[in-house]
Structure 1
Amino acid sequence: MVVIYFILILTGVIMVHELGHYLFARIFKVKVLEFALGFGPRVFSVKGKETTFRFNVFPIGGYVRMLGEEGEEVVEEREKSFYAKPAWQRLLITLAGPLFSIVAGYVLFLPITLHWGIALPGVGEVLPNSPAEEAGLMGGDIIYSVNGRIAFDTAIISEEIQKGLPVELVVVRDGKKVPIRIVPRMYPETYEIVLESAEGRPEGKLVSVNGNPDLSILKDYVNEYVTLGFEGGTVKGILKQFNEIPKRYMIGISFAGLAPIFKEDFSVFQRGDRIVEVEGQKIDSWQDLIVLYQRLTLGDRVLMLSVQGENVEWWRGLSGTVDVTVERAGKLIKVQIDTSSLKTVLETPGVLENEVPRYRPENFVETVSLSVKACNYVLWATASSLKNFFRNVQTGQIVGVVGLAGVIGQASKSGMEAILTVVAIITISLGVLNLLPLPALDGGRIVFSLVEMVTRKRLDPQIENIIHFIGFILLMVLFLYITFLDIGRLMGI
């Protein structure tokens, strides 16, 4: 089923993009020889009056082949040749593909927002004595905006908080928008530590590392045996992971995610079950589920600690079979499940309920406004990430066809809303990506047209196409490299 979704989505996205080129070519009376979806050998084709519409075996791209576009000499119907047209018309034909892709994303977001609402960050937990608690923020609040910016992502909220200035939030509570002003507070460094073969029990404040009171020296002891001194004793083990989060402004909340409540029957659990406790760990929120998942991935005899100032939280890894206390029909019962199955529960989309619902706009005008602003944010975020395109490729932040199939596969497990959202994001991203001023991409062709419009001198079409061909070869190499990275991520390499 995932393969079918993948082919249908990719085909639809590419079709919209190529349709833009095709329609504008027809508008300017350029003869279109082929309208193709996919590359490689032909699966089937339909011959039109002027154009052959074909579907090829590899559905990972597409093209519109126009008369004279490849720089060949055109004798008959020369007036219908691509290079016979003025530079501004060629620019619009080339620009139409990315433009159609981007507009398709905007159009698709509207019914998504209209039918399902829009996902905005919610408040999971409010820490005691924190700026958020003092200002009246509550768990379950939906954060609508921060300092006038719609909060489409938690990064927007964090960015405003990190400035250290008062933040003006608008939260949705019981269907009403409530303004809340919060002054962030500087919190101390946080040290996240994972010890293997750990011995001892952390008690009280962490005061030393191998007898040294400077805790930051832990970074020099990764994969070495260390002794952590606490007020109530010592803990020894092999330091496998150490992460230091510097001092930062915070308001004292955790963002909402999944609730420990089952939406459907799964394994030993029943719909409506609420996880209350797992091997001594109280489960109240999404953050507790995150800690639980980390424990399930660590294994036995592993200790993880989070140290922030005098606050020390610690948990041991889990392996084998664990006892889970659930609330079912008002009664507490214990069930047993192996750690791998419990890990699968937390990894499977659609099994657990959300801590906060999606925000539903108050009226159609707000629906249109929010869907447009959401697309603007996706457009801006995509363009920003492409500023360092090749660095993002090297760090694996850009996915290829294999990675895209994985994204679509995960979305298909979460329902139609997730699938349509992924499609909208993909088509917007495709439009932006094609605007990169690189040979063989639409952006590269646009650059040549712009240069011709400014200089009023046309580059030899054959030379231009040689440049695009070389660019195409390099892009194919890049495509193979990204595919290799995708496969590596898939295999955990």
Structure 2
Amino acid sequence: MTIIFYALAIIGFLTLVFVHELGHLVFAKISKINVVRFSIGWGKPIVEKKIGETVYQIGIFPFGGFCQMAGEQIVDDAPIAEGDFYSKKPLPRLLAVSGGVLFNLLLGIVLLSFAGMLPSMNVYLPPVVYIPESLSTQPAYQAGLRSFDEILKINGKEIYSFTDLQTIISQIMGEKLTIEYKRDGQISTVTIVPNVERNTGRSVIGVYPYIKPVIDTVETNSIFKDIGLEKGDLLISVKNEKNISRNILSTADLSEFLESHLYENITFTFQKKDGTIIEKSAFVDKQFDPGLNFYVEYRKTPGLPFYKSFIMSFPKSIDTLDMFKKSLRLLFSGKVDVSQSVSGPVKLIYISSKVVQTGLKNVLEFFALLTLILGATNLLPIPATDGSYILFFLFELISRKKLNPKTISKIQTVGFFLLLALMILVFINDIITIKDLF
């Protein structure tokens, strides 16, 4: 099954590349610019077929693609032929180089529209935070939030679940938050500046969701089955042989205690459904026992009609692009570890192989995110990207001055080799990162 998931991930990734290059192809044809070669994948072609003036191929390496337009690179003093890239005025050239980005953005909207039409069954966690002593140095506690506070609004946006809280904090990317919360019936406001995790670039304020430690399921091979835990039991406390103990008010207490006391005999105190209090001991050799699940509420979210989902796809796309902009700012600020925060095709395929196992809605939303980021990345005004061409041709349109095609080609060639070197480094980093995940 793993091979199938990887195959699906590669197909999904290549679909995004295909759509991007198709955008270039379509607008090149509309602009009457000859296309020499259209390729999905790099390297020696596995399959190729010439139709008209264009060779269509699938390359052996499934990590990208290209749409080679005639005369796009000027390397000598050969005359510019009819149908060549630079035989056209700035506007047709601008359309041809913008087509890939435009198609990526359109695909993102389409994928989000279809994703919004699908119903989903999701874990619902109320917007109630839990802040154990271990998080007392984190921004939330320092600002005045405490366990069992109910979050009402963040920066004026209503918060209906802990997922809403996580989403908004992740989008803020280290910027100031104004949080309105309720405690003992009183509504108050605090201002928090999140920390930014260097390895991931995520914004964090230092809170857990409050999950009451009521048992939902216990599998046969779990140590918790051996000590008699059953559905509906309530964990009360834990202690080790040295009488170091901890009350279990939320599930985070259990995971933190077990992390600190692995490979020890732990005594678990729990209450049965009939009110009986029981103490049982077990040897703990793993922090997260896959055989134990706590009760959480599941809520079904119905799918939206297409027109509503289509309308909602626009603000979702804007939020994604805004998050990309903030991520770039963090990347160049030095606050995050570039080697951990940047992903290339190999790592993206690995992540995609995990996402394709989680359901169609998640797959559509994930690839919508990827295609929007792919489009935004290509808009960056870096030599060898679509963004640099767009910048050059916008200058020509506005100034009515034609730039020297040979100069543009030289800049793009230098940029290509620099970009190639960067891609090799990212590729190596992907391999190292993925190796550590196994």
**TM-score, scaled to structure 1:** 0.64
Map of 1:339 onto structure 2: 285
Structure 1 residues 25 and 160, CA gap change in structure 2 (3 angstroms): closer
Structure 2: how far apart are the matches of 1:258 and 1:73?
72
Structure 2: how far apart are the matches of 1:410 and 1:120?
19
Map of 2:324 onto structure 1: 382
Q: Which of 21, 30, 35 is matched with 1:32 structurally?
A: 35
Q: Deviations along 1:206-228, whole A, 9 cap, x unmatched?
A: xxxxxxxxxxxxxxxxxxxxxxx
SS of residue in 1 equivalent to 2:82 = helix
More off after superposition, 256-265 vs 79-88: 256-265
More off after superposition, 4-13 vs 261-270: 261-270
What code does the residue aligned with 2:390 have?
I
Structure 2: how far apart are the matches of 1:126 and 1:165?
16
1:349-368 equivalent positions in 2, closer than 5 A: 357=299, 359-360=301-302, 367-368=309-310
More off after superposition, 437-446 vs 370-379: 370-379
Map of 2:367 onto structure 1: 423
Map of 1:291 onto structure 2: 256
Map of 2:431 onto structure 1: 487
Native 8 Å contact 2:176 2:191 kept in 1: no
Structure 1 residues 161 and 33, CA gap change in structure 2 (3 angstroms): closer
Alignment pair present for 1:61 and 2:64: yes
1:93-172 equivalent positions in 2, closer than 5 A: 93-116=96-119, 122-123=125-126, 125=128, 137=150, 147-148=156-157, 154=166, 156=168, 167=180
What code does the residue aligned with 1:339 have?
D
Q: Deviations along 1:335-385, whole A, 9 cap, x unmatched?
A: 968634x637399xxx88865646557766654444332222111101222
Structure 2: how far apart are the matches of 1:160 and 1:443?
24
Structure 1 residues 396 and 48, CA gap change in structure 2 (3 angstroms): same
Native 8 Å contact 1:82 1:90 kept in 2: yes
Q: Deviations along 1:397-427, whole A, 9 cap, x unmatched?
A: 2111232133223323433332222211111
Map of 2:136 onto structure 1: none
Q: Deviations along 1:446-476, whole A, 9 cap, x unmatched?
A: 1121222233333332332222121111112
Identity of aligned residues (%): 24
Alignment pair present for 1:86 and 2:85: no
Map of 2:405 onto structure 1: 461
Q: Deviations along 1:245-269, whole A, 9 cap, x unmatched?
A: xxx999xx74468997668968548
Structure 2: how far apart are the matches of 1:287 and 1:387?
33
Q: CA deviation at 1:98?
A: 1.1
Structure 1: how far apart are the matches of 2:218 and 2:67?
47
Structure 1 residues 458 and 112, CA gap change in structure 2 (3 angstroms): same
**TM-score, scaled to structure 2:** 0.71
SS of residue in 2 equivalent to 1:184 = strand
SS of residue in 2 equivalent to 1:90 = helix
Structure 1: how far apart are the matches of 2:423 and 2:221?
40
SS of residue in 2 equivalent to 1:78 = coil
SS of residue in 1 equivalent to 2:262 = coil
- Structure whose residues are more often strand by fraction: 1
Q: CA deviation at 1:160?
A: 12
SS of residue in 1 equivalent to 2:429 = helix
Structure 1 residues 361 and 457, CA gap change in structure 2 (3 angstroms): same
Map of 2:140 onto structure 1: none
Structure 2: how far apart are the matches of 1:410 and 1:429?
19
> Can you give the 5+ residue segments of structure 1 that lack an aligned partner in the other structure?
170-179, 188-247, 297-315
Map of 2:338 onto structure 1: 394
SS of residue in 2 equivalent to 1:29 = coil
Q: Which of 183, 192, 198 is matched with 2:188 structurally?
A: 183
Structure 2: how far apart are the matches of 1:88 and 1:120?
50
> Can you give the 5+ residue segments of structure 2 that lack an aligned partner in the other structure?
132-143, 193-203, 240-245
Native 8 Å contact 2:130 2:250 kept in 1: no
Native 8 Å contact 1:32 1:66 kept in 2: yes
Alignment pair present for 1:448 and 2:413: no
Native 8 Å contact 1:185 1:249 kept in 2: no
Native 8 Å contact 2:181 2:189 kept in 1: no
Structure 2: how far apart are the matches of 1:346 and 1:464?
61
What code does the residue aligned with 2:166 have?
T
Map of 1:228 onto structure 2: none
Structure 1: how far apart are the matches of 2:327 and 2:173?
20
SS of residue in 2 equivalent to 1:396 = helix
1:162-241 equivalent positions in 2, closer than 5 A: 167=180, 182-185=187-190
Structure 2: how far apart are the matches of 1:13 and 1:378?
16
SS of residue in 2 equivalent to 1:123 = coil
What code does the residue aligned with 2:31 have?
F
Structure 2: how far apart are the matches of 1:412 and 1:334?
40
Alignment pair present for 1:476 and 2:420: yes
Structure 2: how far apart are the matches of 1:282 and 1:425?
41
Structure 1 residues 186 and 12, CA gap change in structure 2 (3 angstroms): closer
Structure 2: how far apart are the matches of 1:259 and 1:14?
46
Native 8 Å contact 1:109 1:371 kept in 2: yes
Q: CA deviation at 1:122?
A: 4.2
Structure 1 residues 25 and 328, CA gap change in structure 2 (3 angstroms): farther
Q: CA deviation at 1:99?
A: 1.6
Map of 2:351 onto structure 1: 407
Structure 1: how far apart are the matches of 2:342 and 2:403?
33
Q: Deviations along 1:140-175, whole A, 9 cap, x unmatched?
A: xxx797514788552636969996867399xxxxxx
Structure 1: how far apart are the matches of 2:49 and 2:218?
47
More off after superposition, 103-112 vs 422-431: 103-112
Root-mean-square deviation over aligned CA pairs: 4.7
Structure 1: how far apart are the matches of 2:379 and 2:208?
38
How many corresponding residue pairs?
A: 389
Structure 1 residues 154 and 458, CA gap change in structure 2 (3 angstroms): same
Q: CA deviation at 1:37?
A: 0.6
Structure 1: how far apart are the matches of 2:362 and 2:75?
45
Native 8 Å contact 2:381 2:387 kept in 1: yes
Structure 2: how far apart are the matches of 1:363 and 1:337?
53
1:208-287 equivalent positions in 2, closer than 5 A: 254-255=208-209, 267-268=221-222, 276-277=234-235, 279-280=238-239, 285=250, 287=252
Q: CA deviation at 1:94?
A: 0.9
Structure 1 residues 131 and 70, CA gap change in structure 2 (3 angstroms): closer
Q: CA deviation at 1:323?
A: 7.3
Structure 1 residues 165 and 420, CA gap change in structure 2 (3 angstroms): closer
What code does the residue aligned with 2:156 have?
N
Native 8 Å contact 2:148 2:210 kept in 1: no
